[in-house]
Amino acid sequence: MKIEKLKKRLDRNRPMTPITLRMPEDVIEDLKRVVPLLGFSGYQPLIRTYVGQSTPHALA
């Protein structure tokens, strides 16, 4: 990934779009348990990280 793209990806002030995602309650509870261990502020940033790492443009 080029440096400029990486800098944009790391910008915390990027525009956000709200979405609705249905997930099993036990999965959310598991995420909430591991969040402090991984150093995230909540389960939503953790989910964003997982999704961001899985998208094709993250591999470019």
pLDDT (tens digit per residue) in 20-57: 999 999 999 999 999 999 999 999 999 988 888 876 65
Contact 33, 40 (CB under 8 A): no
Q: What is the pLDDT of residue 60?
A: 53
Residues whose CB falls within 8 Å of the CB of residue 37, separated by 6 or more in sequence, listed in order:
none
pLDDT greater than 90 at residue 59: no
Q: What is the mean pLDDT of residues 7-23?
A: 85
Long-range contacts, 21-29 (Cβ 8 Å, 24+) = 21/47
- Phi/psi of residue 2, each to 5°? -70, 155
Q: What is the pLDDT of residue 34?
A: 96
**Is 0.85 topped by the overall pTM?**
no
Q: What is the pLDDT of residue 4?
A: 80
